[in-house]
Every structure is written in C-alpha cells, then in structure tokens.
Amino acid sequence: MAAISDQPLPIIQLTPLENTLKSLLLDVADYIRERTIAEGGNAADTPRTVLRFTGGWVRDKLLGIDSHDIDVGINNMTGYQFGLLLKDYLDIPENLQKYKKNHNNGELKDAIVSLHKIEANPEKSKHLETVTTKIFGLDIDLVNLRKETYSDDSRNPQMEFGTAEEDAMRRDATINALFYNLNESKVEDFTRRGFEDMRDQVIRTPMEPYQTFKDDPLRVLRLIRFASRLGYRIDEDTENAMKNKDISEALKLKISRERVGTEMTKMLKGPDPRGALQFIDRLELYQTIFANHQDDVGVDTSSWALAYNALQELLHSEDTSIPIARVRDLLIRDAQEAYYAWVIAAFAPWSTVPDRVAQGPKAKPLPPRAAEVAKDSLRADNKTINLLRDAACHWRSIVGVKSSLLEERMSGTAAEIRQQIGLYIRTWNKDWRLCCTLAILQEVAQGGEFNKVIQEYNKFLSYLVEHNLENVYDMKPIVNGVEVAQHLAAPKGPWMSKALDMVIRWQLLHPEITDKAKALEEVSSRKEELDIRSK
C-alpha cells in the first residue's frame, strides 16, 4: 500500500523552537548510528533511525493551532532506549551549546528537565517502555511505532513493534493518524484518508469502525470529543457502529468509570459542550455513559435536548436584550461556573427521577439519583457530587419560591417576604446560583418557553439584587456565640446554634440595623425558646 494519499499533502511550518527540537532529535539519531558503527557495527547493516511527530500535534499544526505537547514516534527502538541515548548526547557540553546559539532571547529552556520512564506492563506489551520528558520547554513523549492486538475482555492491547503504517492504522481517527516525518520534512498520511477528512471536516476510524470500537470502546467517547471540539461531523458508518448495542455493552464492561469521567470532563470543558451532549443524545448513549448502577430504574431523555439547548442559548445567545445577559451574568459568573452549568445540564434527566428510598428505621436518606450516577458512572469528585446533590434537591424549591414571589402569593410584610426568601437561599447552599440554573433548564425541558422563563428569572434575580440578597448565604451573625452567652449569663451549649439562627433571622428582617446591642436584645426577649440548661 502506498504510504501517502495521492493528493499533494500540505507543508508544515515549524516554529523556531520546533525546528531546534527537530535538529536535536535528528542529530541524536545520527549520534546513535555513528556510535553503533564505532563499536564495531557494519555501516551497511546499521539502519537509520526514522523519527516522526505523530497524532494530535500534526492535526493541530494543520489547523493552525500551536501545541507544546509532542509525541515522537521511533521506528527501531523503544522510547526509553532513545531517551537514554538522548541524555548521553546532551551530557556532552558542546552539543547543547550549538542549539542555544539561535535562541539568545532565553526562549530555549533547560535541555532536559527529567526523563520519566513509563514502565511497560508485561501483560499488555512486549516491554515497550516509553518516556515522557521536557525538552526546550516542550512536553515530549518518546515512543516506538507499534501495532496492537486486543482480547475480548480488555481495552488494553498486546503491543509489539510495528511499521509506521501499522501505527497509523491502530489510531482512533484518521485525522489523528497523520505523521510528520522529521528525516524527510514531510507530512505522511498512511490511512490515505486523514488529510481528506480534515479538509471535509469528517471524523472516521482508520479501520472498520465496529471492530475498532469493539477493541477499545473508549474510542467512542474520544471521537465524540474530537467531533465536538473541532466542529466536525462523524462519518455515517462510524456513527452506526457507535450506536451498536454490542459497543454500548463493551463500553460498560471494558472501560473504567474513571476513564469515562475523564473524557466527559474534557468534553464539557471543551469549546462546544452542547455539541458533545447532542452527539451522546443522538447516538443513544446516555444510559450507557450516565448509567444507573443501583437498581433497574431508567431515565427519560426525550426532553433532554430542550435543557442543553436552553443552556447554550443562555450562555451564547446573540440576543443582546437585558434579561438573558442579566440572568447569565448573575448566575454564571466565570468559566468554572460555566463548566459546572454544563455538568448540571448533562445530569438534568436524572435530576427529575425520584430518589431511592433507604430501608430500615435508622437508615440515612440516600443521595439524589444525579449524585449517585455521577459517583458510580463517572467517579466524579466530591465537588461535582455535592453540586449535583444540591441542585437536584433544591431546583423544585427554587421554582416554587420564584413563582410565589412573582405571583404575589407570599404572605407577610415586605420585610417578612425578604426574610423568607433570604432563608430559602441559605437552605439552597453556597452553589444556589447553579441550582437556579438547573431550575431554568428544568422549566424549559418541561415545556416552558425559553424567553418567558428567562424573563421570570430576571424578575426574581432582580428582586434579590434590589433587596441585597445576592450574598445572603455568606451572611454572618453580627454577634458571636461567646457574646450571646455572656449577655445571657448562660453556659455554652447546643442552644447557641439556635440563638445565632435567631440573630440571622432578625438581621434579615432588619437589614438596616447593625447595632449588636439590638441583636442581643432580640435573643434576650426570646430566651425561653432556647432551652438553656444550667450545668
């Protein structure tokens, strides 16, 4: 088979630093050959080492995206063997100096910070050690070209030395199988489809897609991530294989939950989270990725698209009207909160499913479904699990409070209504803004018209701003427990927590008063409610 496609391939322009790295690596290859010959090897029988930049770096370079993470493919030795010889070469002082002469501005950093060997697992490979290191400030992985053989029960292949073509064909997508040959300064397309698919903005597997995914089901998620990140479409045959029930089952059985969680995090932190969720939705992978491991209860995703499209509209609407921008700015204040908003959108279907019921008289309530699924299916961190717990627990309360306020169904004076709403927000916990975001998505998913829902939340949030309730969760009592105990001449005890809660309630009712004495008077007047017990 020809090594490259018939059409002319593009020329990659290296940065000065990349050019220096290329020169270094080729000089090391020459050094290795010369040393072998000097040690008695026959020049005719001593092969030249061929080096290639592989995979993602080539793709990004062709897209005009700079990358400081480079995989170097080696044709005739392991990455660890090459790495040790690279270190030997740079230990010769004059060798390093010649690369610095073209970088007088300090751009050339330390030659090698460290060589970190990644041990080969004998169960997975023929002792093919790789090395990760930093050279001239660039993150470099040194690895031999390889071919792979898979078993039915594991995504971890048996690996052997392979040709460049075998290495290209084992990769997850044709656009990730392009190589840059350092020896010949040219792009190589051994799949014969990589550059064409980049031009046409298509994601496809180099080999037959069903077997590709059966071998390593994680590739399903990786291709969704690349398609959403690059704005590419997935090839029809590839998409049909991704939908296959055998592949869904293999994804459940062969892939660790941590790896699934890592891929989902990358998708939701990527440039198009909505695109990733659309692919998952269309490919009917929701219950495979966000699987319930506790019982047989399923989840309805028929209205999920309404939720994630609503979040996309909220975050990126071209409508410059005040309500959308105001709601967005009040609820989702930075990139981190935008990421967590997408997490909430991803779990929106599970946020409507009733919780499991704990058994036994002393059993603690079980977490909401969304939190359980995040823990069991994605091995999510505690921050994410706690956020999903709070959002699932409180979104209905938020809808109710918002509606009661706007429909003037809350009883009491204006000050008492402010107090009630402040207390509600404190029960919604510190991420109450993201809980409100889920409330919006659920109202839209349940049939609410987006603009009408946004207008209502704009009014609700405007009330919070006007009544200085935005930061009420963080509000502290103006007196502390010791001051209250001294004022009441009472011993410290459990009653103090209730007393400080009284102070918070009083402060919400009287925001204009900041005098500690007044707060202490309030506690004194209600002393009988505290059940203070003398020692």
Q: Supply φ then ψ for residue 131, to 5 degrees.
A: -130, 135
Q: Return the structure tokens found at 482.
A: 């010791």
Residue type for position 392:
A
pLDDT of residue 298: 95
- In 3D, which of 59, 5, 7 has the Cα closest to residue 190? 5
- Please say whether the beta carbons of 326 and 244 come within 8 A: no
Q: Which CATH architecture is the domain 16-200 placed in?
A: 2-Layer Sandwich (3.30)
Q: How far apart, in whole angstroms, are the C-alpha atoms of residue 530 and residue 159?
A: 71
pLDDT of residue 154: 56
92-105 core/surface letters (b: 16 or more CB in 10 A; e: else): eeebbeebeeeeee
pLDDT tens readout for residues 129-146: 788 888 888 889 999 998
Question: CA angle, corner 204, sides to 299 and 160, nearest 5?
Answer: 105
Per domain, the residue ranges of the chain are 16-200, 204-291, 293-473, 476-529
pLDDT of residue 151: 60
Report residue 132 CA to chain centroid gap: 23
- Please say whether the beta carbons of 241 and 199 come within 8 A: no
pLDDT of residue 114: 55
Q: How far apart, in whole angstroms, are the C-alpha atoms of residue 347 and residue 301?
A: 10
Question: CA angle, corner 48, sides to 43 and 51, nearest 5?
Answer: 165
Classify residue 64 by burial, with Cβ atoms within 10 Å: 0-12, 13-18, 19+. exposed
Q: How far apart, in whole angstroms, are the C-alpha atoms of residue 411 and residue 32?
A: 85
- State which H helix or E strand residue 142 sits in: strand 138-144
Q: How far apart, in whole angstroms, are the C-alpha atoms of residue 428 and residue 451?
A: 25
Q: Return the structure tokens found at 530.
A: 């505290």
Q: How far apart, in whole angstroms, are the C-alpha atoms of residue 409 and residue 483?
A: 38
Q: How far apart, in whole angstroms, are the C-alpha atoms of residue 93 and residue 89?
A: 9
Choose the CATH number for 204-291 among 2.160.20.10, 1.10.569.10, 1.10.110.30, 3.40.50.2000: 1.10.110.30
pLDDT of residue 157: 61
Alpha helices in 175-292 (DSSP H): 194-200, 209-215, 218-230, 236-243, 245-254, 257-268, 273-282, 286-289
Those residues with Cβ within 8 angstroms of residue 346's Cβ, 6 or more apart along the chain or in another chain = 264, 268, 277, 290, 308
Predicted TM-score (pTM) of the model is 0.87
- State which H helix or E strand residue 446 sits in: none
Pairing label, strands 146-149, 138-144: unpaired
Run means of pLDDT, 10 residues per run, the chain, 535 residues? 54 90 94 86 81 94 91 93 89 80 61 52 50 86 83 62 93 96 96 95 96 93 97 96 95 92 97 97 96 95 98 89 91 97 98 92 91 97 98 98 96 96 97 98 97 97 96 94 89 89 94 91 88 72
pLDDT of residue 1: 36
